[in-house]
Each structure stands twice: as structure tokens, then as C-alpha cells.
Amino acid sequence: MSRVALTLFAALTLSACGGSDPYEVPSGEYEVAEVMNPSDGFPAVAAFEGVVVSIDVAGLALTVTAPDGGRVVYGLALAPEELWAEDCYTNISHAVTLAYTLDEDTLALGPATLDRPMLSAKCGGAPLLYSGSDPDLDWGADVVYLQELDANLPD
């Protein structure tokens, strides 16, 4: 292998092994899009109709607005790095998304409650809320995926 080809290969390999800045959770207004790994009795998506989740990362706040207009504001704190969500795997790397803890032990999200709530995002995209403090989302926590408010409306 030529020296140029070897150098190029090494540079590409090392650049794909992470080291990039972690993805941020996007601020905005959201509604529940999907519920994954629900525990017994955890409601289906239809039960969350009219619940709005507002995320303000810069202000470190998450607000839940119920269909009747009632609002609860939670504070956010950046979680320790070992709790950041690792996702978007390729053959030789993965992406990391920041994760946040909430300042309460439970999050009242419409008809449901998340214990030890965490906020992160799928591959730096749509935010998600989940129970527990384990970023490995395959372990069975109640995982609530969010989508931009009115994302389902036709253009």
C-alpha cells in the first residue's frame, strides 16, 4: 500500500471514530409521537392528545401543558457524560447526544408519569423522554418520542 493511501486510510478511520461534538437536544414545541417499551398500564399515544411539551435548552426548562391549559415547568440539568445517549452506530463509530435530568423525581406527562425522567434525542433529532438513568434505551423503560407540534399537518 502506498504511503499516501495509508495516510488517507488512517485519517478517514480516525475521523470516523467519534471525537465530534455531541448532538444537542433541540428546543421547540412538541407533541407525543410514539411510545416505546411501555410498562404495564402505561398509556398509548392517543391518550396524550393535546399534551404539549416545550423544551428550552438554553433556559434549562421543560414545560408540559395539559389539554385543559394547566402547565408544569421542570428545570433541566445536564446529565453526567456517562449518561449521554450513544446512538446512530456505524461499523466503526457512533454519535452521542447530550442527556438531561429533570429537577423532579417524576414527570407528569398528561395521563402518564415517568419515574426518574431523562431527556435526550434520537441521533440528535427528535427529542425523547424516558424513565430511569440508563441511556441504553433497550432495557425496557417507558420511552416517549416527541415530534414537532403540528408535524402531521399537510403543507
Q: pLDDT tens digits for 21-67?
A: 888 999 999 999 999 878 888 898 999 999 999 999 999 999 999 99
3-class secondary-structure state, position 154: coil
Cβ atoms within 10 Å, residue 32? 24
C-alpha to C-alpha distance for 97 and 104, rounded to whole angstroms: 22
Instruction: Give the model's pLDDT for residue 3.
Output: 61
Asked, for residue 110, whether it belongs to a domain, the answer is yes
Asked, for residue 13, whether it belongs to a domain, the answer is no
Asked, for residue 18, whether it belongs to a domain, the answer is no
Q: What is the pTM of this model?
A: 0.79
Asked, for residue 3, whether it belongs to a domain, the answer is no
Asked, for residue 55, whether it belongs to a domain, the answer is yes
Asked, for residue 92, whether it belongs to a domain, the answer is yes
Q: How confident is the model at residue 10 (pLDDT cuts 50, 70, 90)?
A: very low
Asked, for residue 153, whether it belongs to a domain, the answer is no
- Tell me which residue range forms the domain holding 87: 28-148
Asked, for residue 16, whether it belongs to a domain, the answer is no
Per the structure, how many domains does the chain have?
1
Q: pLDDT tens digits for 97-145?
A: 889 999 999 999 989 999 889 999 887 688 999 887 555 554 456 889 9
Distances (CA, A) of 39 to 13, 29, 42, 63, 126: 41, 26, 5, 24, 22
Q: How far is CA 10 from the centre of its chain?
A: 33
Q: How confident is the model at residue 6 (pLDDT cuts 50, 70, 90)?
A: very low
- Of 102, 104, 148, nearest to 129 by C-alpha is 102
